[in-house]
Amino acid sequence: MKIGTFQIQSLTTVAAVYFLIVVGGLVSSTGSGLACPDWPLCYGQIVPPLTPNIVIEFTHRLWTIVVTIFVVLTMLFAWKKYRWPHKVTAFATLTFVLLLSQVILGMITVLSGTEPLIVTAHLALAILVFASALTTTVASLTYRRRKG
């Protein structure tokens, strides 16, 4: 098993997604989900007033941008390295699609007033994003080039 640049990028993406889920749990456990009642801004501002609950919610939103960058880079690197069709490329692309769906569901979560069913779906989809990112990494670690 060889760890190269792609595997490091992919593992970094997995770690970033995991941290995003942890921060999302902090949002829920502190009741910070509606600290910013609008979306994507917070009280119509790029930099909102920094109360504790807003800092928690806004950190979740800002970290989502970081995760999106990692997921997009991982997908682009997968397309360059493995081409299509390949399971690494398929899972990296699936991670991107799931993340886009997750961002939309995050918006719906805020705009719904943190309706419990939507919050639960938001967490479930987050777990799928994590699983897909992790599967991308595992697939890349087990990849063997054909000889000949």
- Find the largest Cα–Cα distance for the chain: 62
Q: 50-109, pLDDT tens digit by residue?
A: 999 999 999 999 999 999 999 999 999 999 998 877 999 999 999 999 999 999 999 999
pLDDT, tens only, 27-37: 999 999 999 99
> Coil, strand, or helix at residue 47?
coil
DSSP assignment of 88-136: HHHHHHHHHHHHHHHHHHHHHHHHTT--HHHHHHHHHHHHHHHHHHHHH
Q: Where are the alpha helices (DSSP H) in 2-51?
A: 5-29
Q: Which residue in 100, 121, 118 sits closest to 110, CA to CA?
A: 118
Which pLDDT belongs to residue 147? 46
Q: Which of 27, 57, 110, 130 is catalytic?
A: 57
Q: What is the pLDDT of residues 98-109, one digit of tens each?
A: 999 999 999 999
Domain boundaries, the chain: 5-141
Mean pLDDT for the chain overall:
93
Annotation says 57 is catalytic: yes
Q: Quick check: 138 pLDDT over 70?
A: yes
How many Å apart are CA 104 and CA 99, to the nearest integer?
9
Which amino acid is present at 47?
Answer: V
pLDDT of residue 148: 40
